[in-house]
């Protein structure tokens, strides 16, 4: 039972996490004026925060006051110094990231269904893209930097890859072009989950049934037998409040904080919890397992001088390659940065050029499967994130990065991109052997900030599935998870739109009622 001294708040639905999926779900549920919704969000509002709302300022948010700053455990074959930024602000990582917006490919959704997520195949999921409120548009002409345009032309000639104008118009295996972004080109304002789904109602005051509890941290779920009753939260001033859900608790805290909250509530691997002195109320061994990501590395060039100043967010174009004809979808991706992205090379002794550009070979379907686990019974202690980067026995991930560096060098030889370049800074033109390339790019590897999978969705006979295809936590009632933690596998593309679509589907399940996923049996 909740402590008697705690203030109690009640609502029909309690949404834990006002991030990418949580913003969608809260907004949709509150469309019914008879339904009350409370959102628990650890960070502040993003309204009137130009440092957040201006898309091109995203780099300044990493490692700042709005970042939870999770670190990795020691990575024997990778980079142990990666800071996994997770946003501490309304809108979550859609208020923090570059807002690259790809509808997951049909092969991504079909892979989920094959993994036991019945009803999540491409045909069923496609309509949810059309429901999104975000302003998803191609990088505007005024933001199309000249070097990025020349890079696209060089890719086409060097690699024979077609240009894609509108990556969301049709499925693709290969392509190069300017991204689609969720933004407003006229003022470079984000069209994040919070901007698209919550701001209109916050500003109009037309949703009295929707309450946002900002700078408030959820630290333990309240259970009564197998029924989720609510959540214990703490305000920034230290006040303890118990928020009770009349219908359901929706956990949308993300791939790190959702499993963290579950485990501190006694839901997770029994052996691990009891070793920390946390009483296990539900032995659910999959909580924290299946930690997946999009690892990437980098190749950096110094340019002959400064670049044109126009850009949407300094990484406006990208490239997809399909090396293996048997593979479903692309198996190598690059972001093209109009900046010298040298954070990790600098740690290895390389110098950042004054002017430069980068390509980041990225592994769309990494074979690494990591694990998130608690290090303490103290809810405020950060969990451990062990991504097990590059530890797959086949070295598929490592070989993918080496292939990426080689292809990037071919692009650098091709005009009209070549004329911009002065020299290769990292790994450096003398690094030509596969083993040497591999070691350097693994040590300089980074993340695209796409952790997922830690409460994966699956079939009833999947012992490590945490939620069923209706997003309900196995063995519990009146509680669902809707965020990137439920991903069974990683989409080949940037996953933000996928998370928004999970939010839309979850909201529809809740509103639809019994027989269509709305009950909690």
Residue 119, C-beta contacts closer than 8 angstroms, at least 6 positions apart = 113, 469
Q: How far is CA 31 from the centre of its chain?
A: 26
38 annotated to a ligand binding site: no
For 211, other C-beta atoms within 10 Å of its C-beta total: 17
Q: How far is CA 414 from CA 152, 154, 157, 304, in A?
A: 10, 5, 7, 16
Cis peptide before 427 (omega within 30 of 0): yes
Structure tokens of 139? 């990088």
- Strands, E assignment, 36-157: 37-40, 70-71, 83-84, 136-138
Q: How far apart are CA 65 and CA 43, in angstroms?
A: 10
Alpha helices in 84-180 (DSSP H): 106-114, 122-131, 146-159
Determine the 3-state secondary structure of 465 from DSSP: coil
Q: How many degrees, rounded to 5, is the angle at CA 427 between CA 439 and CA 291?
A: 50
Output the CA torsion 57→60→61→67 (10° steps): 170
Q: How far apart are CA 18 and CA 233, in angstroms?
A: 14
Cis peptide before 129 (omega within 30 of 0): no
- Strands, E assignment, 287-445: 289-291, 295-296, 299-303, 317-321, 332-337, 356-362, 370-373, 384-386, 421-426
Structure tokens of 443? 């040590």
Which residue, among 411, 497, 376, 368, has the nearest Cα to 75 in the 3D structure? Answer: 368
Any catalytic annotation for residue 450? yes
Catalytic residue among 201, 294, 335, 450: 450
Which residue, among 497, 148, 191, has the nearest Cα to 319 in the 3D structure? Answer: 148
Annotated binding site for FAD: 89
Question: What are the catalytic residues?
Answer: 450
């Amino acid at each position: 039972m909740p402590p008697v001294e705690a203030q109690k708040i009640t609502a029909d639905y309690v949404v834990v996490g006002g991030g990418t999926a949580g913003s969608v779900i809260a907004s949709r549920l509150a469309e019914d004026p008879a339904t009350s919704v409370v959102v628990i969000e650890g960070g502040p509002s993003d309204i009137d925060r130009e440092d957040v709302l201006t898309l091109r300022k995203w780099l300044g948010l990493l490692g700042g006051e709005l970042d939870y700053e999770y670190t990795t455990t020691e990575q024997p074959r990778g980079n142990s110094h990666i800071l996994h930024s997770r946003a501490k602000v309304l809108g979550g990582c859609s208020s923090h990231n570059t807002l690259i917006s790809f509808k997951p490919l049909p092969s991504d959704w079909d892979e989920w269904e094959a993994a036991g997520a019945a009803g999540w195949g491409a045909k069923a999921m496609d309509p949810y893209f059309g429901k999104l409120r975000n302003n998803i548009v191609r990088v505007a002409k005024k933001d199309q930097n000249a070097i990025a345009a020349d890079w696209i032309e060089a890719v086409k000639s060097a690699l024979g890859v077609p240009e894609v104008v509108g990556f969301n118009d049709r499925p693709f295996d290969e392509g190069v072009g300017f991204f689609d972004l969720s933004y407003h080109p006229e003022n470079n304002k984000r069209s994040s989950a919070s901007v698209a789904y919550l701001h209109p109602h916050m500003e109009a005051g037309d949703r009295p049934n929707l309450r946002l509890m900002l700078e408030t941290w959820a630290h333990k779920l309240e259970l009564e037998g197998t029924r989720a009753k609510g959540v214990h939260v703490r305000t920034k001033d230290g006040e303890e409040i118990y928020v009770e859900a009349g219908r359901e608790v929706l956990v949308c805290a993300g791939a790190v904080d959702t499993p963290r909250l579950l485990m501190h509530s006694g839901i997770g691997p029994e052996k691990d919890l009891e070793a920390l002195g946390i009483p296990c109320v539900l032995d659910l061994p999959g909580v924290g397992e299946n930690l997946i990501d999009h690892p990437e590395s980098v190749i950096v060039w110094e340019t002959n001088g400064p670049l044109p100043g126009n850009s949407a967010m300094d990484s406006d174009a990208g490239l997809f390659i399909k090396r293996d004809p048997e593979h479903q979808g692309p198996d190598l991706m690059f972001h093209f940065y109009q900046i010298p992205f040298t954070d990790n090379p600098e740690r290895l002794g390389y110098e950042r050029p004054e002017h430069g550009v980068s390509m980041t070979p990225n592994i769309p379907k990494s074979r690494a499967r990591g694990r998130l686990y608690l290090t303490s019974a103290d809810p405020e202690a950060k969990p451990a994130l062990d991504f097990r980067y590059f530890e797959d026995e086949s070295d598929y991930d490592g070989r993918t990065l080496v292939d990426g560096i080689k292809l990037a060098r071919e692009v650098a030889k091709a005009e009209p991109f070549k004329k911009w370049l002065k020299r290769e800074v990292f790994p450096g033109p003398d690094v030509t052997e596969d083993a040497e390339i591999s070691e350097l790019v693994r040590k300089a590897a980074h993340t695209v900030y796409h952790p997922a999978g830690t409460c994966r969705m699956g079939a009833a006979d999947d012992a490590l599935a945490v939620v069923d295809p209706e997003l309900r936590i196995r063995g519990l009632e009146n509680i669902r998870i809707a965020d990137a933690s439920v991903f069974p596998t990683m989409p080949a593309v940037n996953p933000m739109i996928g998370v928004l679509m999970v939010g839309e589907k979850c909201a529809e399940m809740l509103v639809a009622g019994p027989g269509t996923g709305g009950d909690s049996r």
